[in-house]
């Protein structure tokens, strides 16, 4: 990390302000080449003229110097808060590269912050997630992670496991001694308790993944039941072609829109039927794939016709998906003939009003909101599952007093937990061992 890096810290494009950021041991010296100043006082906003290396004035802007380690990356940082727009910031960026800086790689500032101990992996992932969050509740969850809630949760479990590992590795050297019965029981309870904690947070995070990524809603049903009409009504414009001809929608159509405080992605799929042509069948396969991907399914049926085998197949397909499903009986403005009893079915006329469906969706999405700690990435979920399973295996090995394998499983759990926050170092075990010595020893 000896090189000084530079990058645009604001979105590329037209705006009122652009920020060009440098980080590295030569950040101050490189910046001064463009400022014609002898120094910058740390943490003071300085209005200064910015020049090219050929003495051409580029802009007059606010410049702030953050002296390391009291900075985002832990290194010296200089920020140029320039007038917005593409050309001004781009010219300053190019001049700083000419002056000796290197264009930063994606995420390199955050990587340096992690390597310099300014943040752990959980905070880094939360920061990126906050930038791309798709709902108010997602922003709240990720803000909590940035404040260290997830790191504290993982750290407490990791600390208990490290403490146990330190004791067990000492006991392995004295294999002829039996483990104290009370300690054996306490350790078993610790393993079960923490395994359950990790399993619970992983399951909760999987079930409510839509809070972070945005919920996916798939509209499925036979051809001509009104799926595209429902999509158009939700979006308030004609996004999908609507026709009386079966098989009009052959490819899946995806759009984002807001329901309450949640941004959702809705998928209109091809009608599911048995006698489809070759091209239409591809669209039907996409529909089945959309059911597997979706968090929520809107299963639409034509209430003006009696049910048939295809309707029953769709009900079975949706019911077996184990996804949250809403059954919608469309065309309620016509004589009702649908003869299958569907619990909680919503009767609508898509061409007149779909607000009742939106209200039901909004109510369900509110039930998914949570104040509990959540994992913000699939990587974190997999790590928690791995740690939970390792602790379960450790419980079994301890019951049989197989201390070497027990220690191995504890190491596996610690490694998985470390991938969420910070790397595990063997010195943690030594610290735990010696922490119980007398102060003067």
Output the domain CATH number for residue 299.
3.40.50.300
Q: Is residue 180 part of a domain?
A: yes
| 231 and 335 belong to one structural domain | yes
Which of residues 340, 368, 396 is at a domain's end? 368
pLDDT tens, residue by residue, 144-190 = 888 888 999 999 999 899 888 877 776 665 555 555 667 778 888 99
Q: What is the CATH number of the domain that holds 46?
A: 3.30.1360.120
What's the whole-number mean pLDDT along residues 395-414? 88
Annotated binding site for GTP: 224-229, 243-249, 268-271
| 300 and 179 belong to one structural domain | no
| 384 and 364 belong to one structural domain | no
Whether 404 shows a pLDDT value over 80: the answer reads yes
Question: Which range (158-162, 180-184, 308-312, 315-319) has the least confidence?
Answer: 180-184
The DSSP code sequence of 255-312 is EEEEETTEEEEEEE-PPP-TT--HHHHHHHHHHHHHHHH-SEEEEEEETTS---HHHH
202 Cβ contact partners less than 8 Å away, ≥ 6 residues apart: 375, 381, 384, 385, 388
Annotated binding site for (6S)-5-formyl-5,6,7,8-tetrahydrofolate: 21, 79, 118, 441
pLDDT at 401: 76
**Geometric angle at alpha carbon 152, from 146 and 157, rounded to 5°:** 145
Which of residues 315, 340, 368 is at a domain's end? 368
Q: Is residue 286 part of a domain?
A: yes
| 412 and 344 belong to one structural domain | no
pLDDT tens, residue by residue, 283-293 = 456 667 778 88
Best-predicted range by mean pLDDT (44-58, 233-247, 325-339)? 44-58
**Three-state secondary structure call for residue 209:** coil
| 179 and 258 belong to one structural domain | no
Annotated binding site: 21, 79, 118, 224-229, 243-249, 268-271, 441
Whether 54 shows a pLDDT value over 80: the answer reads yes
Which domain does 222 fall in, by range? 213-241+251-274+281-368
pLDDT at 27: 96
Q: What's the CA gap between 250 and 279, in Å, rounded?
A: 8
| 28 and 91 belong to one structural domain | yes
Q: Which of 222, 219, 151 is nearest to 420 (CA)?
A: 151
pLDDT at 226: 84
pLDDT band for position 196 (50/70/90)? very high
pLDDT at 330: 92
439 Cβ contact partners less than 8 Å away, ≥ 6 residues apart: none
Q: What's the CA gap between 415 and 411, in Å, rounded?
A: 6
Q: Is residue 340 part of a domain?
A: yes
Best-predicted range by mean pLDDT (241-245, 325-329, 347-351, 428-432)? 325-329
Average per-residue pLDDT in the chain? 83
pLDDT band for position 343 (50/70/90)? confident
Best-predicted range by mean pLDDT (151-160, 306-315, 367-376)? 151-160
Which of residues 325, 345, 368 is at a domain's end? 368
| 354 and 225 belong to one structural domain | yes
Q: Are 114 and 72 in contact (CB under 8 A)?
A: no
From the CB of residue 123, how many other CB atoms can be counted at a distance below 10 Å? 21
| 339 and 234 belong to one structural domain | yes
Sign of the CA dihedral running 146, 152, 158, 163: positive
Whether 359 shows a pLDDT value over 90: the answer reads yes
Q: Is residue 126 part of a domain?
A: no
pLDDT at 433: 45
| 228 and 153 belong to one structural domain | no
| Domains in the chain, number | 3
Q: Are 51 and 37 in contact (CB under 8 A)?
A: no
Whether 432 shows a pLDDT value over 90: the answer reads no
pTM above 0.75, yes or no: no
Q: What is the CATH number of the domain that holds 179?
A: 1.20.120.430
| 255 and 354 belong to one structural domain | yes
Q: What's the CA gap between 153 and 158, in Å, rounded?
A: 9
pLDDT tens, residue by residue, 66-113 = 999 999 999 999 999 999 888 999 999 999 999 999 999 988 999 999
In the block, tokens 């208990």 appear at 160
| 402 and 354 belong to one structural domain | no
| 177 and 300 belong to one structural domain | no
Burial class of 344 by CB neighbour count within 10 A (0 to 12, 13 to 18, 19+): exposed
pLDDT at 237: 62
Beta bridge partners of 264: 215, 257
φ and ψ of 4, to 5 deg: -90, 130
pLDDT at 385: 95
Annotated binding site for Mg(2+): 228, 249
pLDDT at 246: 43
pLDDT tens, residue by residue, 239-285 = 544 444 444 444 567 888 888 888 888 888 765 545 544 544 554 56
Beta bridge partners of 324: 296
pLDDT at 65: 97
């Amino acid at each position: 990390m000896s090189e000084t890096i530079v990058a645009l810290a604001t979105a590329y494009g037209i705006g009122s302000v652009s920020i060009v950021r440098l980080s590295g041991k030569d950040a101050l010296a490189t910046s001064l080449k463009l400022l014609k100043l002898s120094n910058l006082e740390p943490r003071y906003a300085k209005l200064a003229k910015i020049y090219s290396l050929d003495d051409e004035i580029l802009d007059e802007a606010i410049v702030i110097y953050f002296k390391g380690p009291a900075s985002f990356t832990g290194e010296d940082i200089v920020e140029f808060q320039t007038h917005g727009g593409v050309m001004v910031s781009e010219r300053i960026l190019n001049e700083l590269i000419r002056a000796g800086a290197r264009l930063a790689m994606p995420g390199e500032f955050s990587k340096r912050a992690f390597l310099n101990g300014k943040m752990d992996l959980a905070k880094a992932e939360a920061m990126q997630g906050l930038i791309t969050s798709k709902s108010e509740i997602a922003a709240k969850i990720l803000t909590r992670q940035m404040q260290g809630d997830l790191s504290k949760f993982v750290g407490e479990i990791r600390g208990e496991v490290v403490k146990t590992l330190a004791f067990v590795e000492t006991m392995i050297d004295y294999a002829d001694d039996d483990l104290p019965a009370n300690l054996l029981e306490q350790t078993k309870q610790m393993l079960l308790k923490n395994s359950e904690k990790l399993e619970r947070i992983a399951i909760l995070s999987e079930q409510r993944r839509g809070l972070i990524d945005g919920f996916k809603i798939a509209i499925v049903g036979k051809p001509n039941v009104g799926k595209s009409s429902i999509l158009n009504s939700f979006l308030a414009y004609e996004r999908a072609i609507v026709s009386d001809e079966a098989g009009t929608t052959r490819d899946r159509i995806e759009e984002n829109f807001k329901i309450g405080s949640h941004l959702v992605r809705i998928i209109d799929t091809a009608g599911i039927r048995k006698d489809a042509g070759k091209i239409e069948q591809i669209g039907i396969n996409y529909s089945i794939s959309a059911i597997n991907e979706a968090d929520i399914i809107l299963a639409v049926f034509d209430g003006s016709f009696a049910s048939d085998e295809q309707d029953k197949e769709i009900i079975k397909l949706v019911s077996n998906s184990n996804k949250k499903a809403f059954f919608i009986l469309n065309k309620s403005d016509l004589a009702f003939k649908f003869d299958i009893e569907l619990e909680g079915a919503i009767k609508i006329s898509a061409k007149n009003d779909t607000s009742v469906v939106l209200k039901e969706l909004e109510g369900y999405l509110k039930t998914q909101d949570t104040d509990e700690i959540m994992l913000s990435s699939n990587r974190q979920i997999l790590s928690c599952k791995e740690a939970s399973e390792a602790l379960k295996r450790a419980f079994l090995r301890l019951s049989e007093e197989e201390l070497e394998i027990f220690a191995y499983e504890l190491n596996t759990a610690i490694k998985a937990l470390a991938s969420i926050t910070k790397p595990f170092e063997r010195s943690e075990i030594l610290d735990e061992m010696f922490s119980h010595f007398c102060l003067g020893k």
